[in-house]
Amino acid sequence: MISVVLVDDHPVVRAGLRALLAGQPDLEVVGEAAAADQAVSVVRGTAAAVVLMDLNLGVGPGGAEVTAALRQLATPPQVLVLTTYDTEADLRAAVDAGAAGYLLKDAPPEELFRAVRATARGETVLAPIVAARLMGRSGPSAPRLTEREVAIVELLARGLPNKDLARRLLISQATVKSHLSHIYAKLGVDTRAGAVARAIEQRIIRPPG
C-alpha cells in the first residue's frame, strides 16, 4: 500500500484527488494539508511515502520551499509536484528543491496513478513536455529571454506603457525601447500584444491575473 498525502490550498482539488485515488486498491490517502506548516506536520505524523504537491499554496511558503523542508525529514517522502500552468523557473525550483517528479494537472487520471506508483518506487516522473524543457529542448524554436527581458515581458502583460516600464525598472525609455526590439526579435513578433501572447504560449510568463 502506497501512503499518499495531498498538499494543495484548494479544498475542491484535494477532494477530487482523494476521490480519484480511493478507486485505486494500492494507493491510500493518509492525510491532507492546505499550507506549508500543516504539510510538514501531517507528513511527519503519517510517515507518508508520496506527497502530491501543488506549487502555488496561496499565502506563505510555496510548494518548492515545502518540498525542500519535507526532504529534510528523517524519513523523507518522495514528492510528486502536481500543478497547473507553470514556467520553466518554477520547474527548476521544484527539481532543485528535491521533487522526484512533476506532472501537470491536465494529465489523465491513469497517468496520475502511474506517476504516484513510479514516484513511490523512487523513479523520476516528468511529463514529456517538461522533460524536454529541462533538457533545454523545449521545441523547434525556443526563444531564450534574459532575466531582464522576462521581467519586461511580465510588465508588458500588465499593460504598462513605456514610461511606466522605465520608471519601474529605473532606466530610460530609450533603453526600454531597445530591450523591446530585442524581445520582439527573439520572440518573432512586432507588437507588444504579440510579445505577450508568444511569451505565454512559450511558458516564459504566466497568463496575467
Residue 189 has which C-alpha cell?
513578433
Instruction: Using CB under 8 A, pick the residue from 58, 148, 194, 208 that binds another protein.
Output: 148
172 binds another protein (CB under 8 A): yes
Q: Which is nearer to another protein, 41 or 146 (CB)?
A: 146
The yes or no reply on residue 41 touching another protein (CB under 8 A) is: no
Nearer to another protein, 15 or 185 (CB): 185
Q: Does residue number 175 form part of the binding site for another protein (CB under 8 A)? A: yes
Residues facing 101 on adjacent strands? 80, 125
Closest CB 148 distance from another protein, rounded Å: 5
Number of residues that bind another protein (CB under 8 A): 14
Q: Decide: is 168 part of the binding site for another protein (CB under 8 A).
A: no
Residue recorded with cell 524554436: 141
Q: What are the grid coordinates assigned to 46, written together?
A: 503519517
Minimum distance from CB of 188 to another protein (Å)?
A: 17
Q: Which member of 38, 46, 87, 173 binds another protein (CB under 8 A)?
A: 173
- Residues 6 or more apart in contact with residue 140 via CB below 8 angstroms: none
How far is the C-alpha of 130 from the C-alpha of 40, rounded, in Å? 27
How many CA atoms lie less than 13 Å away from 33 in the CB half-sphere? Answer: 28
Judged by CB, which is closer to another protein: 84, or 175? 175
Q: Which is nearer to another protein, 121 or 148 (CB)?
A: 148
Q: Which residues pair with 204 in a beta bridge?
A: none
Q: Does 171 bind another protein (CB under 8 A)?
A: yes
Shortest distance (Å) from residue 182 CB to another protein: 6
Closest CB 179 distance from another protein, rounded Å: 8
- Structure-derived torsion over alpha carbons of residues 42, 48, 50, 56, reported in degrees to the nearest 10: 0
Strands 125-126 and 101-104: parallel
Q: How far apart are CA 94 and CA 103, in angstroms?
A: 11
Could you give the CA distance from residue 102 to residue 92 in angstroms, rounded to a whole number? 10
Which residues here bind another protein, judged by CB under 8 A?
146-148, 166, 169-175, 178-179, 182
